[in-house]
């Protein structure tokens, strides 16, 4: 959850638990550790008409559920032209019995996804320590 404050200094951001920042409005980028920044670097960025904003305190990772994988397999079956007229609903019953298979597969996928963290930028601007 973002703080109500729209601007924080380097010291305030670190005190509140933020560790990374990035350039607002820029999509794919490497983030900068806040503790490595100086006030002069923030001022220099601002002088270019850009601003640094804080990244969320915690990274996000993609997660998939066994139910979503099972539902996708069922949808794939019914979306196949050769099977689209099957209205027996047998496939759903068969896949329900195989839920442990989907749970195992979801766990393996999530272990891979966990290796790729994504940090989302907030709207909280990082300002030099001498700023209000």
54 and 80 fall within a common domain? no
Looking at residue 131, what is its pLDDT?
58
Question: Which burial class, exposed, middle or buried, applies to 96 when counting CB atoms under 10 A from its CB (0-12, 13-18, 19+)?
Answer: exposed
50 and 71 fall within a common domain? no
At 88, the pLDDT band (50, 70, 90 cuts) reads confident
- For residue 104, give its domain range: 66-113
Domains identified in the chain, total number: 2
Task: List all residues 6 or more positions away from 62 whose beta carbon is below 8 Å from its beta carbon.
Answer: 113, 116, 118
pTM across the whole model: 0.70
pLDDT in tens, 35-75: 999 999 999 998 999 999 999 999 999 999 999 999 999 88
Q: Which residues pair with 54 in a beta bridge?
A: 21
Task: Assess if residue 45 is contained within a domain.
Answer: yes
């Amino acid at each position: 959850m973002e703080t109500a404050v729209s601007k924080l200094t380097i010291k305030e951001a670190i005190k509140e638990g933020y560790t990374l920042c990035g350039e607002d409005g820029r999509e794919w980028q490497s983030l900068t550790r806040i503790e490595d920044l100086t006030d002069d670097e923030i001022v220099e960025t601002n002088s270019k008409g850009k601003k640094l904003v804080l990244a969320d305190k915690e990274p996000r990772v993609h997660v998939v559920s066994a139910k979503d994988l099972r539902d996708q397999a069922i949808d794939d079956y019914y979306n196949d032209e050769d099977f689209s007229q099957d209205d027996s609903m047998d496939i759903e019953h068969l896949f329900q019995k195989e839920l442990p298979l989907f749970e195992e597969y979801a766990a393996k996928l999530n272990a891979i996804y966990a290796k790729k963290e994504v940090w989302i930028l907030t709207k909280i601007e990082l300002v030099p320590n001498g700023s209000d």
